[in-house]
Amino acid sequence: MRRIGLLCVAGALAMGGVVSGHDNDNSHVQLVVQKAQADLASRTLVVEGQWLVRDDARDVRVSLAGTPLVVLSATRSQVRAQLPVGLIPGDYLLTVWRGRGTPENDAFFLTIGGVGLVGPPGPKGDKGDKGDKGDTGLQGPTGQTGQTGATGATGAQGIQGPPGPPGTVVRAAPPCFGSPTAGGRTLDCLNGTVTDTYTGLVWLKDASCLGSLTYWEASDAASALADGQCGLTDGSSPGDWRLPTRTDWEVTVAWAATVLGCVTGGSGSPPSLTNGSGFGCLSVGFTPFVGVQPSPYWTATPRQDVTGLAYLMSLDTGTLTESVKGLPNLTWAVRGQR
């Protein structure tokens, strides 16, 4: 009778197989177990070998110390069975068969238990001959860059070059208080801008040009505005334009919102701006502006106590509101006094 020992919860033994001389007749091929592994934690027994299944996997039977085990799966090279509950370490007779007769079964003692004591080390063997020199290894990675050296002394000043040609200074057109269209509060400067004679601010004539943007996008778009964009022919350069401040908006809409009632539900109608004459709502009579909406527009003024918010001027109510900076709102640019 053969014996297979398992260490701790699992063990294995490689064993030679005995094969019948009738290779072409499966009924005479010897069932051979070559390896067994048991896992007490998962209660699983795995048996590996040759011809564990002949014709039908349902014919395979496994027993441990005479107790039949539940076969979970079976192939010609592996059988998995369920170990019984409460199995303790010890020696067990394990039998695997697929039918009657000597070729149909194999049995051996299976030892399940702890690892034995480690034996003493054997004597040190003689030193072997020196082997041939191996191939040169691959080049290692480049080392870290060393520290930067101290800055050298400043060199002597070079000879002053000749003066360059006179530059051309281009400045944005001033407010058009003397415009040919003068005679009211808001004047068309005929260069893509409108001057508010009450506040002195110069507004972009096309209020819809910059569209809806986040707070940061709106600030960048206003700052980048220049001659040649949005119908401008005023000679302005990047940096001349900006978002109107909270104060800019408040003084701009005050007359229209509080006196003329150019608000939703008021005596007039929004947007909360005057028309060209300054004596009526923007929605009544001539206005030099185009594209003005009765909606909130960004101010340049953020909330001081909440960094993620900034103020808006709502042109349907003529009042300040707030918005998260990351949300898009209408954008209108202005230049002139702050």
* 52-87 per-position pLDDT tens digit: 898 888 889 999 988 999 999 999 999 999 999 888
Instruction: Classify residue 237 by its DSSP letter.
Output: -
- Ranges of residues in the chain whose predicted pLDDT is under 50: 5-24, 179-182
Closest CA to 111 of 1, 32, 10: 10
Closest CA to 249 of 286, 207, 283: 207
Q: Tell me, what's the pLDDT at 305?
A: 95
Distance separating alpha carbons of residues 194 and 133, to the nearest angstrom: 88
Q: Tell me, what's the pLDDT at 159?
A: 86
Q: Which fold has domain 2-113?
A: Immunoglobulin-like (2.60.40)
| Structural contact between residues 295 and 184, judged by C-beta atoms closer than 8 angstroms | no
Residue 8 has, within 13 A of its CA and on its CB side, a CA count of 2
Q: In what order do the strands lie in the sheet with 61-64?
A: 2-7, 105-113, 90-97, 61-64, 67-68
Question: HEC states along 98-136?
Answer: CCCCHHHEEEEEEEEECCCCCCCCCCCCCCCCCCCCCCC
Closest CA to 323 of 332, 333, 313: 313
C-beta atoms surrounding 245 within 10 Å: 15
Distance separating alpha carbons of residues 255 and 262, to the nearest angstrom: 9
User: What CA–CA distances, in Å, run from 139 to 80, 142, 143, 145, 298?
Assistant: 50, 9, 11, 17, 60
Contact residues for 238 (Cβ-Cβ < 8 A; gap 6+): 223, 224, 225, 226
pTM over 0.85: no
C-beta atoms surrounding 131 within 10 Å: 6
Q: Tell me, what's the pLDDT at 7?
A: 37
